[in-house]
Amino acid sequence: MNPTPEREALVLSQYGHLWAKTAEKAEGLLGAGETELNRIILMMRRDFGADFSDPVLIKKNQERDLERRKTGFILDRQHIRSVEVDSPTATLMIEALKMRTLMELTRGAERIVELGAGWGKNLFKLWLYGAPLDAEYHALELTPEARNLAKRVAQSAAPKMPFFTHAFDYYRPDFSMFAEAKPTVVFSHHSLEQIPSVGERLFEAIKGIPGLIRVVHLEPVGFQVPGATWLENVRPDRMEYIDSLNRAFATKRDQNLNLYPILRSMELEGSIRLTRVRKHFCSILLKNATTLLVWEPNGTPSLTTPETQRDDLQEPPPQPSVWTRLRRKVGKRILGETNAGSQIH
Ligand SMILES: C[S@@+](CC[C@H](N)C(=O)[O-])C[C@H]1O[C@@H](n2cnc3c(N)ncnc32)[C@H](O)[C@@H]1O
119 C-alpha to ligand 1 centroid (Å): 9
pTM: 0.89
62-100 burial: b if 16+ Cβ within 10 Å, else e? eebbeebbebbbbbebebbebeebebeebbebbbebbbe
Q: What is the pLDDT of residue 85?
A: 80
Is residue 118 within 8 A of residue 78, CB to CB? The reply is no
Gap between the Cα atoms of 109 and 187, Å rounded: 12
The answer to whether the CB of 194 is under 6 A from ligand 1 is: yes
Cβ of 118 closer than 6 Å to ligand 1, yes or no, is: yes
pLDDT of residue 332: 66
Quick one: pLDDT at residue 291? 98
Task: Render pLDDT for 32-75 as a digit per residue (tens, 0 to 9).
Answer: 999 999 999 998 887 787 777 788 878 888 888 888 888 889 99
Residue 88: predicted pLDDT: 85
Does the Cβ of 225 fall within 6 Å of ligand 1?
A: no
From the CB of 230, is ligand 1 less than 6 Å away? no
231 by DSSP, 3-state: which? coil
Pair type for strands 136-141 and 212-219: unpaired
What residue's CA is closest to ligand 1, atom 26? 118
Instruction: Give average pLDDT by consecutive 10-residue segment, the chain, 345 residues.
Output: 79 87 90 92 83 80 83 90 82 94 95 98 96 95 96 95 97 97 97 97 98 97 95 88 97 97 96 96 94 91 71 79 74 56 33
- Cβ of 187 closer than 6 Å to ligand 1, yes or no, is no
Rounded-to-integer distance, Cα 132 and Cα 204, Å: 27
Rounded CA-CA distance 209/175 in Å is 7
CB atoms closer than 10 angstroms to residue 269: 10
Return d(Cα 118, Cα 141) in angstroms, integer: 6
Per-residue pLDDT, 342: 34
Q: What pLDDT is recorded for position 182?
A: 97
Mean pLDDT estimate for the chain: 89
Per-residue pLDDT reduced to its tens digit, 187-229: 999 999 999 999 999 999 999 999 999 999 999 999 999 998 9
Residue nearest to atom 20 of ligand 1 (CA): 169
Q: What is the pLDDT of residue 334?
A: 65
Q: How many CB atoms lie within 10 A of CB 255?
A: 20
Q: Enumerate the domain spans of the chain.
A: 5-313
| Superfamily of domain 5-313, CATH level 4 | Vaccinia Virus protein VP39 (3.40.50.150)
pLDDT score, position 54: 81
